[in-house]
Structure 1
Amino acid sequence: MKTSEILAKFNDSTSRIARAMRRFAELYFGNFSWRPPGWLSRTAAGWGRFQRAHPRLILSAMIAIFVISCGGAWTWNWYSHLPKPRKVSAKIVPIEVTKLEKELKFPRLVIYFSESAARLEDLKKPSVQGVRLEPHLSGAWHWVQGDILVFQPSEDWPADQKFSVIFDKSFFPRHVLMERLIHETQTPPFSIAIKELEIYQDPTNPTRREISATLELTHAVDPGELDRHVQLTMVGGSNIFSANDPAPHFNTTYGLHRRVAYVHSSPIALPDQDDFLKLTVTKGVRTAQGGAQTRDAIEEKLRIPSVASMFQIDSIQTTIARDKNGEPEQLIVLTTTADISTRELAKALQIRLLPKRKVSEAEKEAEVESSEEGDQTSEDSGASNEETDSDDDSVGSQVKETELWKSATDVPDDVLEAARPVVFAPVESEKPQGRQHAFRLRVESDGELYVRVNKGVRAFGGFPLSEDYSAVVNVPALPREVQIEGQGGLLALNGERKLSIRSRGLNAIEYEIARVATTQINHLVSQTEGKFQHPRFQVSDLFNEENISRIALERQPIALENKWKANYSAFDFSEHLRKPADGGSERGLFFVTARGWDPLTKKPIKAAKDSRFILVTDIGILTKKNADGTHDVFLISIKEGKPLPNLVVDLLGKNGIPIQSATTDANGHCAFGSVEKSTREKTPVAFVARNGDDVSFIPYAEGFRLKPKW
């Protein structure tokens, strides 16, 4: 086929495609008219003449262009898959501000490399050459490991300073090719923080007061630098400084490394009206090293009270605290805005127990309606709350919401006069003057307390309480609690076998008795830690007393005559010491949990709970570890106080199999060899002694102590 025919067919195909696209465009977009510019028409005509004159040249050029394009694509693909040199990158950890300590430890400059980049001989050197900082800073470079380079400065870093880390080419081995040899970092900017701003009252001179402020700086400054930037101004324009006191009304002293500044004002006089003092540190404070400046001003305000408002009662709250014997006691805590002796404040304090507020007929009707709605809601939600334990730890109040006063302004004078005075006693504090004051009282009744502090009482410095302070607070409710008396975990088998229980505010106690199988002593010891009478399972979610015990529940009613006083009862182990009907190995090892029980809701009270591990036995065990790792074991009868001869004592391993066994002599003594090298399943866990059905044990590990209950 001739070249002209090929070109003719190509042009014909192109023309048909162009006509089809033109018809498609006219169908959707309409007719467009376009006339080419003269230069384009002339170029097209010239190209047509050249094409007709040299058809073979045109085809050869097209083939050449195609071949060159394919060759170029292949060449680029070949070049892109050539092995490239592996370059090592470096990352500089940001430099921190030097921590303020008595002995300054300047932070290191740490550089992490993407792979090992150190010469082998440099790893052992205390310092290396070939790397430097610009600008210069005294210190030494050394490799921590092959990919970590550290610069340890011998002076502090200047603030807000750019540093360049420059490596010599010869610093790295020949095979290490770095991405770049110059890296940059910057130190933190210089900043100042106001840590404290307060009115200081001289404890030895009640008439002397001043403004005290503490400033913390990230870098040291020259003496006198802060004096040019610190300003004390009154927002409201009050004049608290003496007319004879020239500006700037303060002096500055410096603390540790001149990075802590203390600003003390001249003596101040309280204004006639409350005002605010503003402490400002303007920007531009310069560091002693490098001359970096703070970028922003900082300020903080302090309320300056007037003479009339200097001393006020800031807050009041009631709380329950424990005395040295662990007994709860009711407290009222008052917080004041100025220092005063607690005993001095007690002279102006009155506390009265308010009677119940009389409820109007309208309030009674509203109460009936709300109670009916509440009953309906309770019925609807009863099913969903059936499994929810009660967690209220306080003795419930019998006073209805409508019978409460809630505010001191609601209490009429005649009701206040009829209210019963409450005796109280101040709780001594360590300081003679203070701002938190506690008063101990004893009120065994539900209701509210009316607390009044009479005006006129004066705080330290002669500041009077300008107005009576009155408040109504609830009587502090004593917590509902149950406690197993005593500290030990041992009960005599032939004794009363009873636990003394103290409770408060409970109508019933639920006991959970987890009787541990004697075949599980190895697990009991190896899976717990802590004291013998209070062992804690190491991973209680996976392994606890449920894995080694039979568990029984027993509920005991309490004759609750006074919910404010402690009740004493006993729990008897006798029934739980009987041998199981199925011949189980359980005997006298118990996890006992006593918790409050609400007979009305039939739910346990989670907040009132105490637990104890109890061993009921007549076998007392005493162990003595010798210097060579051997042990002497002595058995004695708890009832008779005499040695127990001819009893077998086993030293159990972790798997429950005895490692060694021995029989006591006439003195109740037996000896065990050293087992310090025993490991894995033979790790010793406990000495176990048996006398018929009576079983006793003591953990092998040091730190466990077996205390009798008494």
Structure 2
Amino acid sequence: QISIEPGVRGALGGRLVERFSQGVSFGNTTPSITFASAEKAMYLNTLGARSLGLRMNGVAKVQVTVAKIYASNVQDFLRADKRYGSGNGDNEEGDGGEYGGSMEGEDGEDNSGSYQYYDLENRGDVLFTRSYTTAALKKQNGLHLLSLSLKDLEFNAPLKGLYVVRVQDSEHLWLREEKLVALTDLGLIARQNADGNAVVFLNSIRTAQPVSGATVHFISTSNQVMGTATTNGQGVARYDSVAGSRLQLGMVTVVKDADFSFISLPKTRVETSRFEVGGLTSNAAHYQAFMYGDRDLYRPGDTIYTNTVVRHDDWRTPPAGLPIKVRLLLPTGKEYVRLGERLNATGAVASRFILPPSIM
């Protein structure tokens, strides 16, 4: 019960005239564990703090398990979504095993909560399992920070891969959250043409500088190595498709010293339906015109100077004296003025539009 006596002054002025009483109830919040970053955010820089942010409520102690999915299994692993399990013993991880754990609480109670998990069977190995008290974890901006060690992750080992980090309540093991983590400083951008050729751009995530001398493997959707290349001084590697090959590019992996990174084409493809990506189209005259001005911003009373360059589809210069029309449109799309011009010997023409002081 909360009571406020008369005479209390309000923050915006005024005083309380009558006594105010209100009953208040406090309930137990539901325990929860979530990662602060989005599910698709998986790249963690090796040159940074290597910390994962956790939002935890009502959890005193957690069990952290880290597993490594080996590079040759990453593509198959990413195709499979999380599986569902429950705390009533019907979990799909079998009898628990090294990664599954027991669904029975420390006090022997039957926990019937449901959860999602990644199936690691025949795809990787567990590196370690440790327990942490929530109070012992560093905090920053309301988040508990889970720091990852390169040594614990076997970063320098010859077998590279993708990491799966699982955090679960030590008392209620069904209360868990799992996240994919790619520990790397190698940032990849891949571009594939309609003919199957691909170009890869490799840069440092921390400095954005090109990374040269890295080994790039082009992996098919059936997990076959289609080709290997080395990035040049600009961090660029190319793959030329083989005519008649049934293989389709599905993933690109890259290794530079101890660092490993990858990009899955189906998972990272940019949807282009909302962009103008049709390319250059021709017209009946087979001419293309290019126009530029002396600046981008003009005020009422200014004079607009433009230059128009016309070329044939095969880049030939059109004949001198070819008549063209240059139009100035208002923001509404209505034509304000039209100029009749003729191209000079270089296939260009300069134009001038005088804007009256009253124009909008």
Please, what TM-score do these two structures have when normalized by structure 2? 0.52
- Cross-structure match for 1:686: 251
Q: 1:568 to 1:514 in 2, by over 3 A?
A: same
Verify: 1:695 aligned to 2:260, yes or no. Answer: yes
What's the CA shift for 1:676? Answer: 9.5
Contact 1:522–1:655 (8 Å) recurs in 2: no
Q: Which string of whole-angstrom CA distances, capped at 9 and with x for unpartnered residues, describes residues 484-513 of structure 1?
A: 112211100111111111111110111121
Q: 1:557 to 1:677 in 2, by over 3 A?
A: farther
What amino acid sits opposite 1:617 in the alignment? T
Structure with greater proportional strand content: 2
Match of 2:210 among 643, 646, 656: 643
Please, what TM-score do these two structures have when normalized by structure 1? 0.28
Equivalents in 2 of 1:673, 1:420: separation in Å? 78
What's the CA shift for 1:662? Answer: 1.7
- Cross-structure match for 1:553: 129
What's the CA shift for 1:678? Answer: 4.7
RCO (CA 8 Å, sep 6+): is it higher in 1 or 2? 2
Q: Is the partner of 2:135 in helix, strand or coil?
A: coil
What's the CA shift for 1:675? Answer: 6.8
Q: 1:584 to 1:668 in 2, by over 3 A?
A: closer
Equivalents in 2 of 1:584, 1:633: separation in Å? 23
Q: Is the partner of 2:63 in helix, strand or coil?
A: strand
Q: Is the partner of 1:503 in helix, strand or coil?
A: strand
What amino acid sits opposite 2:67 in the alignment? A
Q: 1:513 to 1:648 in 2, by over 3 A?
A: same
Equivalents in 2 of 1:502, 1:618: separation in Å? 26
What's the CA shift for 1:700? Answer: 2.5
Contact 1:522–1:653 (8 Å) recurs in 2: no
Contact 1:652–1:685 (8 Å) recurs in 2: yes
User: Runs of 4 or more off by more than 6 Å in structure 1?
Assistant: 540-543
Q: Which string of whole-angstrom CA distances, capped at 9 and with x for unpartnered residues, describes residues 647-693 of structure 1?
A: 121111355441112221111112223479654xx443310000012
Name stretches of at least 5 consecutive residues in structure 2 with no aligned partner.
Answer: 4-19, 85-91, 95-117, 271-360
- Cross-structure match for 2:143: 568
- Cross-structure match for 2:64: 511
Q: Is the partner of 2:121 in helix, strand or coil?
A: helix
Q: 1:504 to 1:678 in 2, by over 3 A?
A: farther
- Cross-structure match for 2:314: none
What's the CA shift for 1:570? Answer: 1.3
Q: Is the partner of 1:520 in helix, strand or coil?
A: helix
Equivalents in 2 of 1:703, 1:620: separation in Å? 13
Equivalents in 2 of 1:353, 1:629: separation in Å? 71
Q: Is the partner of 2:65 in helix, strand or coil?
A: strand
What amino acid sits opposite 1:549 in the alignment? G
Point out the structure with max Rg over C-alpha.
Answer: 1
- Cross-structure match for 1:590: 163
Equivalents in 2 of 1:700, 1:676: separation in Å? 21
Equivalents in 2 of 1:537, 1:650: separation in Å? 30
- Cross-structure match for 2:153: 577
Equivalents in 1 of 2:218, 2:121: separation in Å? 25
Q: 1:687 to 1:515 in 2, by over 3 A?
A: same
Name stretches of at least 5 consecutive residues in structure 1 with no aligned partner.
Answer: 1-351, 355-418, 423-442, 444-448, 450-474, 529-534, 561-565, 706-710
Contact 1:629–1:676 (8 Å) recurs in 2: no
Equivalents in 2 of 1:514, 1:570: separation in Å? 19
Q: Is the partner of 1:546 in helix, strand or coil?
A: coil
What's the CA shift for 1:703? Answer: 4.6
Q: Is the partner of 2:77 in helix, strand or coil?
A: helix
Equivalents in 1 of 2:262, 2:207: separation in Å? 19
Q: Is the partner of 1:559 in helix, strand or coil?
A: helix
Q: 1:666 to 1:558 in 2, by over 3 A?
A: same
Q: 1:541 to 1:506 in 2, by over 3 A?
A: closer
What's the CA shift for 1:586? Answer: 3.7
Contact 2:213–2:256 (8 Å) recurs in 1: no
- The size of the alignment, in residue pairs, is 217
What amino acid sits opposite 1:494 in the alignment? L
Equivalents in 1 of 2:28, 2:229: separation in Å? 57
Q: Is the partner of 2:180 in helix, strand or coil?
A: strand
Equivalents in 2 of 1:703, 1:568: separation in Å? 28
What amino acid sits opposite 2:144 in the alignment? S
Equivalents in 2 of 1:494, 1:570: separation in Å? 17
Equivalents in 1 of 2:245, 2:64: separation in Å? 40
Contact 2:199–2:239 (8 Å) recurs in 1: yes
Aligned pairs (5 A) from 1:118-129:
none
Q: 1:523 to 1:501 in 2, by over 3 A?
A: same
What's the CA shift for 1:611? Answer: 1.8
Q: 1:675 to 1:478 in 2, by over 3 A?
A: farther
Verify: 1:628 aligned to 2:195, yes or no. Answer: yes
Q: 1:676 to 1:553 in 2, by over 3 A?
A: farther
Equivalents in 1 of 2:33, 2:242: separation in Å? 43
Equivalents in 1 of 2:235, 2:142: separation in Å? 42
Contact 2:218–2:252 (8 Å) recurs in 1: yes
Aligned pairs (5 A) from 1:305-320:
none
Match of 1:500 among 53, 66, 81: 53
Q: 1:670 to 1:570 in 2, by over 3 A?
A: same
Aligned pairs (5 A) from 1:179-218:
none
Contact 1:678–1:684 (8 Å) recurs in 2: no
What amino acid sits opposite 1:495 in the alignment? G
Structure with greater proportional helix content: 1
Q: 1:625 to 1:586 in 2, by over 3 A?
A: closer
- Cross-structure match for 1:477: 28
